[in-house]
Amino acid sequence: MARNIIAVTLLLLTFGLAQPGHAGASSPCPRPAPGSEVLPPPDLYSSNGVLNVALTYNTAVDELGVTLFCFVTSDGLESPTLHVNPGDTINITLTNMVPGAPGAPAEVVSNRGRVCGSDTMTLTSTNMHFHGINASPRCHSDEVIRTLVNSGQTFTYKIKIPKNEPPGLYWYHPHVHSISSPNVLGGGTGAIIVEGIENIQPAVAGLPQRLLVLRDQLLPYLPTQGSDKPFWNLSVNYTLVPYPTYPPAIIKMQSGAKEFWRVANASANSILDLQVMYDGKPQPLQIVGLDGVPTGSQDGKRQGTIITRKNIFLPPAGRAEFIVTGPDAGVKQATVITNYIDSGPAGDFLPARRLAVIQQAAKATRLPKMPAVSKAPNRQRFEELADAKVTGKRKLFFYEVFTESRVPPPNRAAKRKPPEDQNMVFFITVDGDVNRPYDPNNPPAIVTTKGAVEDWTIENRTTELHEFHMHQIHFLLLEINGKKVPKKDQQFYDTFNVPYWDGESPKFPSIKVRMDFRGAVTGEFVYHCHILDHEDLGMMAIIRVNSAKDSAKAVKPPRRGLTTAQSGKGSVRLAG
């Protein structure tokens, strides 16, 4: 995976924008010292159906020269958690305080009829995506194709939370194409909680709830394939766990007490495989929600089921909510770890490491408690999708190439090249169409109609992992590598891992998912790989959902670029 775009972008951002120094309390983006206790992020709650918040988007540079980003409230709260109820409205006034970068590249991305904010993207542009929320993709809502807020500019968002939004954990982050990865790597992220999960999963009622936002961050070196150094550092609620010694963050729990953990992988590029270990033994984790949807809750009964696992695989942007029991007095070592991730011959090196130690305390960190069960749940957004009539089927695939005369062999040695020579292009393509990297002025690659129910097969034709993410809606996981997921185990996700290809097998790895366009959302939005380096380098496309009266206006993309026939195994070339 090429990292030249990240290195160049952050070099330009750092030069002249901020001076290196400790990102302590006086920093625009303060960070706790490594080895600190993990404290909850600040909380903001809606009142009478509305949450009003003013945010500034800021930058700083830490003592290692790593560029940081953050959203901060007018009274200094960094990356606050936004608590809302189904049917509420979030009103955000966003001001971009990141200084401009004179002389840096800029690109016009909107015409006069389609501009939302500024029409020109710079290296210091920003916007906000409300990940997982089934909000409108219109301007001033959850629109990321054209929304740009440049240095010194102010922009307003009005996010209407649907009344049938599943209660659970969501998050927000910048989503400006080509710089989304450095923005998220810098920590410009925060959580959103849609309240009410206790009404669907009563087991969490009354429990202390602990929010853990896991992030990745640039290291002060440029890692290469075949190295034993990780591609990224990790942090827990901004407490860094840095290479090479990995001093763990500290979580304090009462001995034997149950807690409700709400965990977001708010990384740009790091895949995680989480376990809670007591004296080397993985502990059972009672999962009640995945990607903001209570598990087992969409069969029309409006009551969830608990899934017990001893590890949780979380792609970048994935979320898991689960009950964990604190260590008893006899446990000598309690830790939270992420296991080694085999991301494929062309993937990032993601080693196993300890993220936190759990210390037993007579009095744990003060945590908010979940409310008691209070009412019958609302109708759920995706109810009975498993048995809905399928109106269409599609096949898509992930693909990537070097922009040279041929593609190097898919092995680690092929990527031990200077960053400036790693000219990678990434695609997500509808089978039978042409390969073309994302451009905001591309026509929609897919056009469908409100009310449609579609089955999509997404193949991975590369030798590294990719993470399929859909904006605006969730999808139901049906199959992995052609093998059906038992109906009782089928869950809803907005991001899911697609296994990597071994470079030889005649059949590509794949997932099959059911897309639900029966809701209120119409307009244009995107789908992409949520490894954001890949998205920034082209692995994203636009879908248009027409209202019934506009369904005849489907747009077929022009056939230019690299054809699907050229994108299988072996050499490829780029066409004009």
Question: Is residue 295 very low, low, confident or very high in pLDDT (cuts 50, 70, 90)?
Answer: very high
Mean pLDDT, the chain, integer: 88
Beta-carbon count within 10 A of 441 CB: 12
Record the pTM.
0.91
CA dihedral over 292, 295, 299, 303, signed as positive or negative: negative
Phi/psi for 386 (5° steps) reads -55, -30
Question: Is residue 101 very low, low, confident or very high in pLDDT (cuts 50, 70, 90)?
Answer: confident
Average pLDDT value for residue range 542-561? 67
Question: Is residue 298 very low, low, confident or very high in pLDDT (cuts 50, 70, 90)?
Answer: confident
Question: Is residue 160 very low, low, confident or very high in pLDDT (cuts 50, 70, 90)?
Answer: very high
Beta-carbon count within 10 A of 502 CB: 12
Helices (H), 419-559: 532-536
Q: Name the most confidently modeled range: 223-237, 281-295, 406-420, 553-567.
A: 281-295
Question: Is residue 552 very low, low, confident or very high in pLDDT (cuts 50, 70, 90)?
Answer: low
* Per-residue model confidence (pLDDT) at position 366: 84
Query: Going from the N-terminus, what domains does the chain have, and what CATH number goes with each?
Result: 4-196 (2.60.40.420), 202-360 (2.60.40.420), 385-566 (2.60.40.420)
Secondary structure letter of residue 356 according to DSSP: E
Average pLDDT value for residue range 126-139? 97
Q: Which two tokens stand for residue 557?
A: 């993309």
142, HSE (Cβ side, Cα atoms, 13 Å) = 27
Average pLDDT value for residue range 507-528? 97
Contacts of 267 (CB under 8 A, 6+ apart): 184, 214, 215, 216, 232, 234, 316, 317
Look at residue 325 and tell me whether its pLDDT is greater than 50.
yes
Look at residue 383 and tell me whether its pLDDT is greater than 90.
no
* Per-residue model confidence (pLDDT) at position 111: 66
How do residues 333-344 score in pLDDT, each as one tens digit? 999 999 999 999
Average pLDDT value for residue range 511-519? 96
